[in-house]
Structure 1
Amino acid sequence: MADESDQRSVLMEIPEPQAKITGRLRRSYMDILCSRLSVGVRRGTHSCGVRRGHLLDAGSGRRQTRDGLDMCETSISKQLLNSLLLAEQMASVSLTSDLKLLLEDLHQKKTSVYRSIPYSRLASNRDAHCYRKARPHLMAFKRSCQDGGRLLLQNAEWEKLLEFVQTACRYTSELPQWETGTHNALREHCFNTLAAFCNAALQKHKPTAHRARELLRRFKMAQVSRRAISLCLEELEKIVQEYQSGESQTQIHS
């Protein structure tokens, strides 16, 4: 009987709790983030500028590990700051009347359209599948045309608006032409919108003779939709004829 009670007592014994894992053995959030940032950096060097051994060597001391994490935090903070500055710069494009920034943004949108088209396919890269890939970027291009022209129109910057319209029409003419006719409707919509801005500018502002001839020549050289900008061409031709008739009368009187 004594032997059975001893065996039962042994089976009923509860093992002592194991020691908790110390914080030194756990990987902190910053360690994991730093290790992810190390992709693409040469082997043996941490992306934050610290040797891996300095972070992982338990005998190197607390200060070296803390310094490594501090440098990693600084690097991450700089990356976040750069991202925020870039986002702010892109957002400011919609609020600025700087013609150079507006045209650069429009050019980038046109480039994004072509980058979105898959060229590795054996089939045509102007079919419906490729159009669906490029459609979000085409919509972004259309919004840039509308927002840029509307901003210059509201600020009554007529010369800038005429230059914006002419360059935007050229960029629009360089967009892909799709196999399905309805897919080209967005391209025609851009032409119509830009033509409306051009007409509004010419109603409020009469460019110089040289400027009118230059705009007329550039509009005719660009492969733009003549139906959409026919009113712009007619107005510019009218302005050029007025200058020519005025120059003729001046020569007669002189």
Structure 2
Amino acid sequence: MADEADQRSVLVEIPEPQAKVTERLRRSYMDILCSRLTVTHTCSRRLRSEERHACNESKHLMDTLLLAEQSVQMASGSLTSDLSLLLHDLHQKKTSVYRSIPYSRLGSNRDAHCYRKARPHLMAFWRACEEGGRVFERSGEWQKLLEFVQAASRLSGELPLWETSEHNSLRQRCYNTLAAFCTTALKKHTPNASRARGLLRRFRAAPASRYGIGSCLKELEKILQEHQKITLSHTQIHPSI
């Protein structure tokens, strides 16, 4: 009898299935499923955005690696005088100057604050002018040096002009450095009239200070006068031409 009572008590203590718990579990499952679908959709959009960003980053990385390789070669003195590579490097550094300027500000983007942001990139541009010129100077490739100077002075003229005149000193330093290379090259190599006029035009368009580029202007003016004399003499000898 005692065994039968114990069995009945055990059966009575077993709770019946609760419908509310089952319904709650069903709702929880649906919530989890919906949340996973939402996360999947969000991740898909994020992945597409990250793929586009990755493409841009990849291109930037390739440019960075190319310039880094060039810097290593330049530091070791083994850089070949590849004019297009050096000018590409210089163009990239000019682009970095403009990228560093915070254009989202409400005020001027040529003030002291923006200059401080751009200054490291301006210094890098000036160093590229100096290092590029040194490459051709060491190798004695005077024609290429003049081509580099002409292109680099054009890029220097495209650098931003700042509100404070002192902040434009790095721009002037670029012109002074290039003018010094130009003067050295002109003593070794006489360019044709077209290149001489192009160089003269670039340096005449430089900032107001003529201290660093005066000797270069004199050399170019002298060369153009010689070209004019040769042309005039040739015309007198062959008046029909």
Give the TM interval when normalised to the shorter protein: 0.5 to 0.7
Query: Does structure 2 conserve the Cα–Cα contact (< 8 Å) formed by 1:126 and 1:177?
Result: yes
The Cα shift of 1:172 comes to: 1.1
Larger RCO (alpha carbons 8 Å, 6+ apart) = 2
Higher helix proportion (structure 1 or 2): 2
Q: Choose from 89, 92, 98 the match for 1:105.
A: 89
Q: Check if 1:192 corresponds to 2:173.
A: no
Note the alpha carbon deviations across 1:2-30, whole angstroms, 9 max, x for none.
xxxxxxxxxxxxxxxxxxxxxxxxxxxxx
1:140 CA drift (Å) = 0.8
**How many percent of aligned residue pairs carry the same amino acid?**
60
Equivalent residues of 2:126, 2:174 under 8 A apart: yes
Listed as ranges, the gaps of 5+ residues in structure 1 are: 1-37, 48-79
Rg larger for: 2
Which residue in 1 is equivalent to 2:147?
163
Aligned to 2:216: 232
> Is the Cα contact below 8 Å between 1:191 and 1:225 reproduced in 2?
no
CA offsets per residue over residues 37-66 of structure 1, 9 Å max, x none?
Answer: x99536xxxx9xxxxxxxxxxxxxxxxxxx
**How many pairs are equivalent?**
181
Aligned 8 A contact 1:169 1:224 in 2: no
Deviation at 1:176?
1.3
Deviates more, 1:174-183 or 1:132-141: 174-183
Question: Structure 1-normalised TM-score?
Answer: 0.62
1:133 aligns with 2:117: yes
Q: 1:123 and 1:85, CA in 2 relative to 1: closer, same or farther beyond 3 A? A: closer
Aligned-CA RMSD value = 3.0
The one of 41, 51, 54 aligned to 2:47: 41
TM-score normalised by the chain length of structure 2: 0.65
Taking a change above 3 Å as real, the CA distance of residues 155 and 143 of structure 1, as seen in their structure-2 partners, is same
Q: State the distance in 2 between where 1:142 and 1:85 align.
A: 19
Q: CA deviation at 1:125?
A: 1.0
Of 120, 130, 142 in structure 2, the residue corresponding to residue 146 of structure 1 is 130
CA distance in 1 between partners of 2:114 and 2:223 (Å): 43
Deviation, 1:110, is: 0.5
User: 1:85 & 1:126 partners in 2: Cα distance?
Assistant: 27
Give unpaired runs (5+ residues) of structure 2: 1-43, 52-57
CA offsets, 1:81-138, max 9 Å, x none? x969962553226323111111111011001100100011112111111111111111
Tell me if the contact between 1:170 and 1:223 (Cα under 8 Å) persists in the aligned partners: no
Given the alignment of the two structures, is residue 174 of structure 1 paired with residue 158 of structure 2, yes or no?
Answer: yes
Distance, in Å, in 2 between the alignment partners of 1:233 and 1:90 is: 35
